[in-house]
Amino acid sequence: MKQEEFRDLCRAYRPHMQQLNETAGRYHISAQEKVWLRSHVQKVDALFSVIEENYGMYARAMLWDYYVEGLKQPDIAYKYGIPLRTMQRKFSRWIRCVTGEEDDE
């Protein structure tokens, strides 16, 4: 998986969850579409579980804030009390963990 694919999956997480939740209400989507949406939601959940298993709950929370919630990196660094550059290095390492891309450190 490429970093761009990870980013795109995360950005789609909230809209997919919203669609799945709305299907219980007034909107109707096909069973095939529900399966597709669930598979994407589960994939994101699994990726974040790998991050948490390898790097802890703060890694998961920071990446979630950035990739799913859409917070800006400086805001996340401030929220968790770490220097921005340190956070960026950690993000890079954590993302390589789930994407399988080479570690160039």
Contact call for residues 30 and 61 (beta carbons, < 8 A): no
Dihedral angle, C-alpha 13, 70, 3, 47, nearest 10 °: -50
User: What is the band of 105 on the pLDDT scale with cuts at 50, 70, 90?
Assistant: very low
pLDDT band (50, 70, 90) for residue 94: very high
Condensed to tens digits (0 to 9), the pLDDT of residues 39-77 reads 999 999 999 999 999 999 999 999 999 999 999 999 999
Mean pLDDT of all residues in 75-103: 91
**Above 60 in pLDDT, residue 95?**
yes
Q: Provide the pLDDT for residue 24.
A: 63
**C-alpha–C-alpha distance, residues 54 and 77, integer Å:** 20
What pLDDT shows up at residue 98? 87
